[in-house]
């Protein structure tokens, strides 16, 4: 797929708290037909849905819920239709956050876990801002071809524990990619139609574009 081609349709959910333009530009570069919109009908109908997020956890979740974006995500996943969530968008897919601030700190509960502040130290300052390697599990499709690359992170909070109970789920257990910054934290999750990254693919150079290209190609 080449940039500018007529590729799969991707909606970047405009819930008010995301790097929508930089995300759209990166997706366009890898050949997606991109629309930035708060319209949840468009979000349900597109080949792929990209859920960005920057800033406070509660604000991002509230923004998604105000659009009924949580329902759009649920309906897509029920139909095995791909969703990619990034940074606080990824965090929003978990049960809850311990982040201070005003608003509901309950997440969308697609995955079990709580978003916690990174502890920080003299050698691992918070916010975690910059390039970092990741530990990719065997079988990852999202990271195919970039398993040994570095990606760009900007965050102070992350999920640091992950325990999966399938409760009779027909899906295999999620594939979890980890990174280190003073402690181990979740860098990415792949689970059926839902995937997410704590890092910003659109800011991660060629490796990030390769990952986005892999995801967009999966929509065909």
**Predicted local confidence at residue 91, as pLDDT:** 98
Q: Looking at the predicted structure, is the pLDDT value of residue 95 above 80?
A: yes
Q: Is residue 124 part of a domain?
A: yes
Q: Are 206 and 89 in contact (CB under 8 A)?
A: no
Distance CA 61, CA 54 (A): 11
**Do 23 and 15 meet the contact criterion of CB atoms below 8 Å apart?**
no
- 146 lies in some domain: yes
Q: How many CB atoms within 10 Å of residue 22?
A: 14
In tens, the pLDDT along 65-83 reads 999 999 999 999 999 999 9
What pLDDT, in 10s, does the model give residues 189-211? 999 999 999 999 999 999 999 99
Q: Which of 15, 128, 202, 210 is catalytic?
A: 202
Q: Give me the CATH number covering residue 174.
A: 3.40.50.880
**Degrees (nearest 5) of the Cα angle 179, 182, 185?**
35
Report helix, strand or coil for 54. coil
87 is catalytic: yes
In this predicted structure, the answer to whether residue 3 has a pLDDT above a threshold of 70 is no
Q: What is the pLDDT of residue 2?
A: 41
- Would you tell me how many other CB atoms lie within 10 Å of the CB of residue 185? 23
Average pLDDT over residues 144-167: 94
15: its two tokens: 């819930």
Is residue 3 included in any domain, yes or no?
no
**Helix/strand/coil (H/E/C) assignment for every residue in 14-41:** CCCCCCHHHHHHHHHHCCCEEEEECCHH
The answer to whether 87 and 54 have CB atoms below 8 angstroms apart is yes
The answer to whether residue 140 sits within a structural domain is yes
What pLDDT, on a 0 to 100 scale, did the predictor assign at position 104?
A: 74
DSSP codes joined into one string, 152-192: EEEESEEE-------TT-SSPPPEEEEEEESEEEEEEEEET
Residue 94's pLDDT band, with cuts at 50, 70 and 90, is very high
What pLDDT is recorded for position 211? 98
pLDDT at position 121, please? 95
Quick count: other Cβ atoms within 10 Å of Cβ 3?
A: 12
At 168, the pLDDT band (50, 70, 90 cuts) reads: low
Lowest mean pLDDT segment, chosen from 22-26, 97-101, 115-119 = 97-101
How many other C-beta atoms lie within 10 A of the C-beta of residue 156? 12
Residue 81 token pair: 């239709």
Average predicted confidence (pLDDT) for the chain:
94
Give the residue-averaged pLDDT of 25-34.
98
Q: How confident is the model at residue 156 (pLDDT cuts 50, 70, 90)?
A: very high
Residue 4 maps to a domain: no
Q: Which of 87, 99, 190, 210 is catalytic?
A: 87
114 assigned to some structural domain: yes
**Structural domains in the chain (count):** 1
Is the pLDDT at 101 greater than 80, yes or no?
Answer: no
Q: Based on the residue annotation, tell me whether 202 is a catalytic residue of this protein.
A: yes
pTM of the model: 0.95
Q: Quick check: 147 pLDDT over 80?
A: yes
First to last CA, the chain: 11
Q: What range defines the domain where residue 94 resides? A: 9-218
Q: Which of 65, 166, 77, 52 is nearest to 106 (CA)?
A: 65
Residue 37, in any domain of the structure: yes
What share of the chain has pLDDT > 90, as a percent? 91
What is the pLDDT, as a whole number, of residue 130?
A: 98
């Amino acid at each position: 797929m080449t940039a500018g081609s007529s590729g799969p349709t991707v909606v970047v959910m405009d819930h008010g708290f995301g790097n929508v333009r930089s995300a759209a530009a990166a997706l366009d570069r890898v050949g997606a037909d991109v629309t930035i919109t708060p319209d949840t009908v468009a979000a349900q109908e597109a080949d792929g849905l990209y859920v960005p997020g920057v800033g406070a956890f509660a604000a991002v979740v509230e923004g998604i819920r105000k659009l009924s974006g949580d329902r759009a995500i649920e309906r897509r996943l029920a139909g095995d239709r791909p969703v990619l969530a990034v940074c606080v968008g990824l965090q929003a897919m978990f049960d809850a956050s311990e982040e201070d601030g005003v608003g509901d700190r309950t997440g969308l509960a697609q995955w079990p876990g709580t978003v916690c502040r990174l502890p920080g130290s003299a050698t691992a300052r918070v916010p975690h801002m910059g390039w970092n390697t990741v530990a990719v599990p065997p079988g990852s499709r999202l990271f195919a071809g970039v398993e040994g690359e570095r990606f760009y992170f900007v965050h102070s909070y992350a999920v640091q524990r992950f325990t999966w109970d399938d409760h009779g789920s027909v899906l295999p257990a999620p594939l979890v990619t980890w990174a280190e910054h003073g402690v181990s934290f979740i860098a990415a999750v792949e689970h059926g139609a839902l995937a997410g990254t704590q890092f910003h693919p659109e800011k991660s150079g060629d490796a990030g574009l390769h990952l986005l290209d892999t995801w967009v190609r999966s929509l065909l």
